[in-house]
């Protein structure tokens, strides 16, 4: 919740006070709306497959390998990253873009840490899943 408040506050600040406005702002605004909607869809698909997506890693009972999880291992985080980026572009100010980058890095680091934990907890099952689905966030990229 904190990240959304920070993004909104910095976005409104940058928008209303024209602070560090990005060039070609109309394109950033349109791209932002598209990215936000795409992120919302990806995040929604991740929750459709994984009912415990917001649970602590310790509370996860099984590995989800169906639906969007058969293509990428962290669709929930990808959805959030797309929404952060979309919201930042929507306001076309550099301040929320920087904040979105910070939260993106934090989510990537969280995903890496979570994978370490899941490898310890589920051992061979998670290792096999990682081999079947090699992409964390974006197929054929990362």
Cα distance between residue 95 and residue 116, in whole Å: 32
Q: For residue range 86-105, list pLDDT tens digits in order.
A: 998 888 788 888 999 999 99
Please, are residues 4 and 36 in contact by the beta-carbon 8 Å criterion? no
Residue 92 lies in a domain: yes
Residue 82 lies in a domain: yes
* 9 has a pLDDT exceeding 90: no
Helices first, then strands: H and E counts in the chain: 5, 0
Residue 141 lies in a domain: no
Residue 116 lies in a domain: yes
Residue 138 lies in a domain: no
Q: For residue range 104-137, list pLDDT tens digits in order.
A: 999 999 999 999 999 999 999 999 999 999 999 9
List of long-range contacts for 116-125, beta carbons under 8 Å, 24+ apart: 117/57, 117/58, 118/57, 118/60, 118/63, 121/57, 121/58, 121/60, 122/63, 125/63
Per the structure, how many domains does the chain have?
1
Residue 73: give its domain's CATH number: 1.20.120.1630
Q: What is the pLDDT of residue 109?
A: 97
| Other beta carbons within 10 Å of 34 | 14
Q: What is the pLDDT of residue 107?
A: 95
Q: What is the pLDDT of residue 70?
A: 96
Q: What is the pLDDT of residue 20?
A: 65
User: What is the domain extent for residue 31?
Assistant: 2-15+24-132
Residue 142 lies in a domain: no
Number of residues that this document lists for the chain:
142
Q: What is the pLDDT of residue 33?
A: 94
Please, are residues 81 and 39 in contact by the beta-carbon 8 Å criterion? yes
Q: For residue range 37-78, list pLDDT tens digits in order.
A: 999 999 999 999 998 887 777 788 889 999 999 999 999 999
Residue 139 lies in a domain: no
Residue 140 lies in a domain: no
């Amino acid at each position: 919740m904190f990240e959304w408040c920070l993004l909104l506050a910095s976005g409104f600040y940058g928008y209303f006070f024209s602070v560090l406005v990005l060039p070609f702002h109309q394109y950033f605004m349109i791209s932002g709306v598209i990215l936000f909607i795409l992120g919302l869809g990806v995040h929604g698909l991740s929750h459709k497959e994984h009912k415990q997506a917001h649970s602590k890693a310790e509370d996860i009972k099984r590995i989800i390998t169906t639906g969007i999880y058969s293509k990428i291992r962290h669709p929930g985080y990808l959805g959030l990253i797309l929404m952060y980026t979309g919201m930042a572009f929507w306001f076309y100010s550099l301040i929320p873009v920087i904040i979105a980058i910070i939260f993106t890095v934090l989510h990537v680091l969280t995903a890496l840490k979570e994978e370490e934990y899941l490898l310890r907890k589920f051992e061979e099952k998670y290792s096999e899943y990682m081999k079947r689905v090699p992409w964390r966030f974006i197929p054929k990229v990362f």
